[in-house]
Amino acid sequence: MESKRIGISGLAAYTPPFRVWLEDWCSWSGSQWPKIREVVGRSFRVRGRNQSVYTMAATAVMRLIDQYDIDPARVKFLGLGTESSTDNSAGAIIVKGMVDQALVARGKVPIARSCEVPEFKHACLGGVYGMKSAIRHLALDGAGGQAIVVCADIAEYARGSSGEPTQGAGAVAMLLEENPNLAEIDLVHSGSASDYRIIDFRKPMSRFCGQDSGDSQQVQDFPVFNGKYSTTCYIDATLHALADMYEKRGLVAADYLRSLETVFMHRPYRRMPETGYAVAYLFALGSGSPEDRAELASFCYEAGIEPQALLDEMGSKPEIVTFADPERLNYEAYPLTMGVFRIFRASRRYRREILDKLALGSDTMLDLGNLYTAALPAWVAAGFEQAAEENLDLAGKELLTLGYGSGDAAEVIPFVVAKGWREATAAIGFGKSMEFAVDLNEEQYTALHSGRRAPGLDYLPRNEFIIDKVGRTDERQFQDVGIEYYRYVS
């Protein structure tokens, strides 16, 4: 039985208008701008007081419906991928409710009543898991219909923490269907990896104890994280997911990575995907031909590292969870590999094999910050738009995507670009969604970060959902404490 061609036919995004330039942030915080620029990016977005993960998700879905002229009655699956949800019972149904209300107000039909509405949570990988579930739905009981998966998140960190410059907020909605117009998703040849990491980026509910949103209407959602350890987990998960894909497809790792022209990876900040993909390339050389190993050895000699010692390390399979200890958090799981990586990063080959393959859409991503679940689809959207602008020939080509969620888990999924990708790309409007911005000064940023009213911030929402009010009644006959009521502003 021939498998169905299922994939993405459209993308649409929403980013809040409130922007912080990282150069300004460096002057406020005393941080080094040249380092922040190279490692993190240029700017990030901040949610407004009347915004939540649900309002951003619903706005992105409305844009998707409008931009691709979707018949809501055909949508039988609406999935929400997020790690910023604030309701432990309802999820995607909140988004569906908002969208339905706005559609009916326009005189249109709502999304199908028979639509499934799951929420997916696994750190930044929730959206990818939602996408995989939607594809399986379309291949089985949902055949002939359409699915929407929206990835939405608010990445916020405590003031003064190392994660503060990597903040961000936004949502990306994806239209999935048979015979896709943008890219076919090849789940059969994908690779997976997962392992429990204890303290790698967590959000225990105990953080909320004692918080009173008061005037702000917001509960602060600062994660518990350990930066260096989290980087190690990201690299290790990338290696294992790729290894699973290589084995499934019978690939020679180095030959395959060289054959790729474009790679999209989860991007919490600028340097992370570069490092993860570069280490994967070095591992591929280590398992490759004599010529591949000679290339690897040249970097080893320059780094003063014995090639065989590096190969032994690459084959050691360290237990990363053993580093989840206060006394070992700063240890390197692959110290020799990272030593060779630093030499590799300064080489011309690094530009050709790493940076050039991560180039499509990467400049746009410098102004987004970390979008958690929405980071990968945002990069894909930006990449397709750049490819169209530069008149590149992508049809029929394989793109490699890698989603990652702290904890850790990773999914490596090949995309095959559809013939009609240019027409589908023309409707994305990703760059347009970022055009309008309100630049914040330090006082305004501090206020919004705390969920307070920002002085001198005159912004009137338009064509988006907002939080109209938050319930505060807690009586025997009626309760709505903490429940958000929404409104669509035309």
Nearest to 377 by CA among 15, 5, 19, 2: 15
User: Any idea where the domains of the chain sit in the sequence?
Assistant: 6-187+422-489, 227-401
- What six digits make up the tokens of 50? 């009347």
8 A C-beta contact, residue 46 and residue 449: yes
Please check the confidence at residue 202 and state whether its pLDDT lies above 70. Answer: yes
Split at pLDDT 50, 70, 90, the class of 201 is confident
Q: Distances in Å between the alpha carbon of 215 and those of 209, 376, 377, 469?
A: 17, 34, 34, 11
Split at pLDDT 50, 70, 90, the class of 188 is very high
For 332-427, where are the E strands, in sequence order?
A: 398-405, 409-417
Q: What's the rounded Cα separation, in Å, for the pair 86 and 53?
A: 8
- What six digits make up the tokens of 328? 């070992």
3-state helix, strand, coil in the chain (%, to 5): 40, 20, 40
**Domain 6-187+422-489, CATH homologous superfamily name and number:** Thiolase/Chalcone synthase (3.40.47.10)
**Residue 199 confidence (pLDDT):** 78
Split at pLDDT 50, 70, 90, the class of 224 is confident
Least confident of 187-196, 280-289, 317-326, 471-480: 317-326
Split at pLDDT 50, 70, 90, the class of 327 is confident
Split at pLDDT 50, 70, 90, the class of 207 is low
8 A C-beta contact, residue 344 and residue 285: no
The pLDDT tens digits for 410-457 are: 999 999 999 999 999 999 999 999 999 999 999 999 999 998 899 999
Q: Tell me what the mean pLDDT of segment 193-205 comes to.
A: 83
**Residue 1 confidence (pLDDT):** 47
List, in sequence order, every residue forming a beta bridge with 488; answer none if it has no partner: 465
Please check the confidence at residue 209 and state whether its pLDDT lies above 90. Answer: no
Quickly tell me which residue has 């696994």 as its tokens: 122
Q: Distances in Å between the alpha carbon of 461 and those of 53, 61, 189?
A: 16, 17, 43
Nearest to 148 by CA among 201, 196, 100: 100
* % of the chain exceeding 90 in pLDDT: 85
Please check the confidence at residue 9 and state whether its pLDDT lies above 60. Answer: yes
Please check the confidence at residue 217 and state whether its pLDDT lies above 70. Answer: no
Residue with the larger pLDDT of the pair 207 and 436? 436
Please check the confidence at residue 470 and state whether its pLDDT lies above 60. Answer: yes
Quickly tell me which residue has 């055909």 as its tokens: 74
**Residue 221 confidence (pLDDT):** 78
- What six digits make up the tokens of 64? 């998707």
**H or E stretch covering 97:** helix 92-105
Q: Tell me what the mean pLDDT of segment 207-227 comes to.
A: 68
pTM score, whole prediction:
0.95
**Residue 210 confidence (pLDDT):** 63
The pLDDT tens digits for 238-248 are: 999 999 999 99
Residues 6+ apart with CB under 8 A from 56: 14, 16, 47, 152, 154, 169, 170, 171, 465
- What six digits make up the tokens of 99? 């969208």
